[in-house]
Structure 1
Amino acid sequence: MKISDLKPGQKVTINGMLAEYHGIQKVKIQNFGKVEKRVFKADGINIFKYYTLNDGIKTLKSEKIELK
């Protein structure tokens, strides 16, 4: 399964951290502007993990992501 196969709202673990996939969103990058990224938000804490759109072809296993 690839990152692009995930649906918004799916629960996953990334390197042991429980997170929810939020889909592709525009994210403000400091000193650069807004870009589209694949967004994961950690459960219960305000930590986000971002992947580029090109990362969608990577497998969940290669990125140490597991479905919950």
Structure 2
Amino acid sequence: MNEGEQYLLFLSPEQDGLYAIRGVTQGKVPVKDGEVQVYQENDTDDSEEFLSEIFQEARAKYIHGN
């Protein structure tokens, strides 16, 4: 995540009242449309395309109200 930017987070409850991001990368959706940043050793174009689709669907459902 980048400082000063907003994200839609998908969280799951953990021990002691804490929460963890679900799916690590898939659970952090940038509010602004833009380039998908994947930080994994085995980055592929497929993973960026897959995440872009997930992010677009999440924005449409939870931010834009579709």
Normalising to structure 1: TM-score of the pair?
A: 0.24
* Larger of the two Rg values belongs to structure: 2
Higher strand share: 1
**So what's the TM-score if we normalise by structure 2?**
0.24
Tell me which protein shows more helix as a share of its residues: 2
If asked which structure has higher relative contact order (CA below 8 Å, sep 6+), I would say 1
